[in-house]
Amino acid sequence: MKQYVVTRPLYSEDAFADVHEKIHRHHKTVRHHVKQYFTCDLKRAKNAALSLLPFIGWMRIYQLKEWLLSDIVSGVSTGLVAVLQGLAYSLLASLPPWYGLFTAFFPVIVYFFLGTSRHISVGAFPVLSLMVGAVVTRLVPDEGPPVNITGFEGLTSDEQRVMVAASVTFLMGIMQLAMGLLQVGFIVMYLSDTLVSGFTTAAAVHILVSQLKFVLGLVVPGLSGPLSIVYTLEKIFVQIEKTNVCDLVTSILIMVVVFIVKEINDRYKAKLPVPIPIEVIMTVIACGVSYAFNFRVNYKVDVVGRIPVGYESPMAPNMQIFGQTAVEAFPMAIVGFAVAFSVAKVYSVKHDYIIDGNQELIAFGASNIIGAAFKSFAASTALSRSAVQESTGGKTQIAGLLSALIVMVVTLAIGFLLEPLPKSVLGAVVIVNLKGMLMQIREVPYLWRRDRPDCVVWLVTCLASILLGLDLGLAVGLGMELLTVVFRAQFPRCSVLANITGTDIYKDRKDYMSIYEPEGVKIFRIPSPIFFANIDFFRGKLVEAVGFNPLRVLRKRNKALRTIRKLLKKGELQMTSKGLLLTSSGPIEESEDESNMEELDQPTDFKDLPVQVNWNSELPANIQVPRVDVHSLILDFSAVSFLDISALKGLKAALKELIRVEVEVYIVACDVYIQKKLHSCMFFDDEVKSSMFFLTLHDAMLHILEKHPVNSENTKVCEKVITTATIHGNQCNGVSSLRNRDKFVHVSEPETKF
């Protein structure tokens, strides 16, 4: 077994500072930072240009011969999928299908110039589309008049819905762009994987329910708000007997075939040069069959219908809609960015390049703003479409640009071929692509076994998002997540440590058999920051660890001193050669003088007494004072990252209470910045001194063992070794765990125990 031996002096923090001189570091002022931020030179201008237009960086290293063919194949494959998903996800947004083609084109072009990921496919994302649809159906419901908004006059229902979707997308883009410019891309860190998993699972349930009306061929109005999913299911089951059998059979057939082929793609992806584009194939077949048998007329099947050729003129957003949709736009901005950034991060790690979260916010913000001006709805990235772009060999966003060109060809030239496509086919394609999100429910048993607070976050987020809607559900989930963080920080798992025999290692005494605990010494560890919310918990656990309440002990001692002074004054207690002797035979009651109660919390004062009292010995006159068997307490601050003002006050009060009952307190492994804060906040005084800080836990332990040596009368020769250390020239080869406390308090005259 490999070993190491270190011989060094025993260091407190003060001793270490005396021996090892620190480097004085000059910290920049706020003025210097501001000046540096606004200073511009050629190098900084070049870096800013490359940062704002990341495509310049990878275009400079583009390997034409090696990458171009792969990008072309990937772009064509992704473009076909983007066309189909654009049509399908438009139904989720409660918009005419062809607006999904706009979403698959304009945001992709903008992201090509501004995005830092080379592999994600930008466009409609089902969860985001559903959130847009909830806003659209709230302002322009299927049944009843729309909300009174200036600008709706003279517009058809579809045009009103397009205005709402474009305006909320524009507002969402402004929020993303603002967050990017303000460099707050870190906000995505507050959405944990657990929360996102529960949220997307709930969104998949919403999507599934929203597509049932297309699969069954029913007319069900779009609903939004709390319990909308329950009301939607109620409306579906009330008219279940009106199901269009042709739609149902077509949907089931599409789902079965697509599911089987997708499983084959997953199982044999290493052998297949390109995944089989089964959704595209089945869509083409369904279009042909629908056209040949005239599904719309003969079987009353709802089809895509007329798809206008070309693009529509730009549209300014409606300011009144901004006010109506601001609450929904913010969670959409966060969810859209979080999903896209998560997917981009996976591919950046896989292909070894760097993505910038703030630049991604800028890219998606600009994509949504420009896309909304041309009547597209909220864009992010779809997992399946990005997987197609990467798995078919896509190397850069050239593939994304080519996919946008495929969408443009469909929009300008061959869109009419999709007019006979049944909407039930689009619904079936959406549902079968929900498998990945719905199967996330399998995480629940694992989370329950491994991390129950995370499991609670998953369940609460999922259930709240299903019942209350995606926007409120996300807010509830985020609140629950922050609550678990506060709970973990407020109620950390504190522990009492002990020495692993023969080492300088200290572990939780409950976890190991071969441990060494010096008598009268407690080592307490708190594994979290100490702040206003957990300082009382910290003090409670500290009292539990030492086994007594120091404030209660101090008050009992001071009350005992009052009784002793009273007895001495009456002559009922006299000084003898053996100590103080009680001369009264009657019962003596403890002093109940409640005047000057604040004095009970002050240090014990023996100045007017002939002796100092050993509080652990038997006291005369039936005076009862709790026994304190701890003479030293070590606080392990190695996991304490910060202290706030409330914690400083509470910590100082706790230390003073311990010191006043003759418990020596040591703080070890304290962060240097915490020590600086303690000095700047005037933490130290005549009782709480900086000499209590030690460099390591073992340094403090050796210092205590030197100060409180082994009582040789009660122990045999030490058999266990803590470590070999030189302390003021004496070799310490271990101390017994049977050491008794033998600390007598001296009398002002000859030494007398009381």
| Chain segment 44-100, per-residue pLDDT in tens | 777 777 778 888 888 888 898 888 988 998 899 899 889 988 998 998 999 999 999
Alpha-helix residue ranges (DSSP H) falling in 532-644: 535-546, 550-570
pLDDT of residue 644: 92
Quick check: 623 and 560 in contact, CB under 8 A? yes
pLDDT at 589: 55
Residue 443 to residue 693: CA distance in whole angstroms:
45
Q: Tokens representing 718? A: 């030490």
C-alpha 371/C-alpha 99 separation (Å) is 11
Q: Is the pLDDT of residue 697 over 80?
A: yes
Strands (E) in 538-651, as ranges, are 573-576, 579-582, 632-636
Q: Is 101 in contact with 86 (CB distance < 8 Å)?
A: yes
555-560: average pLDDT? 85
- Give CA–CA dist 736/722, Å, rounded: 10
How sure is the predictor about 733, in pLDDT bands with cuts at 50, 70 and 90?
Answer: very low
Q: What domains can you pick out in the chain, each with its CATH number? A: 60-487 (no CATH), 495-573+600-606+622-707 (3.30.750.24)
Distance CA 488, CA 192 (A): 15
pLDDT confidence of residue 709: 82
39 vs 549: which has the higher pLDDT? 549
pLDDT (tens digit, 9 = 90+) per residue, 162-186? 999 999 999 999 999 999 988 887 7
Distance from C-alpha of 542 to C-alpha of 557, rounded to nearest angstrom: 20
Both tokens of 562, joined, read: 């009052």
pLDDT at 636 over 90: yes
Angle at 616 between CA 708 and CA 601, to 5 degrees: 95
Beta bridge partners of 381: 122
pLDDT tens digits along 333-360: 998 998 888 888 888 888 888 888 889 9
Phi (first) and psi of residue 527, to 5 degrees? -95, 50
Phi-psi bin for 584: left (phi > 0), alpha (psi -120 to 50), beta? beta
Token look-up 């440590």 returns 497
User: Helix 423-432 to helix 64-92 angle, to the nearest 10 degrees?
Assistant: 110
State which H helix or E strand residue 373 sits in: helix 357-373
What is the reported pLDDT for 543? 94
Q: Which amino acid is at 506?
A: Y
Contact indicator for 89, 100 with CB cutoff of 8 Å: yes
Look up the pTM and report it. Answer: 0.78
How far is residue 470's CA from residue 465's CA, in Å, rounded to a whole number?
5
- Looking at residue 739, what is its pLDDT? 30
Distance CA 745, CA 751 (A): 8
Q: What is the pLDDT of residue 566?
A: 79
Lowest mean pLDDT among 26-30, 153-157, 461-465: 26-30
Query: At 574, is the pLDDT very low, low, confident or very high (cuts 50, 70, 90)?
Result: low
Angle at 628 between CA 627 and CA 630, to 5 degrees: 155
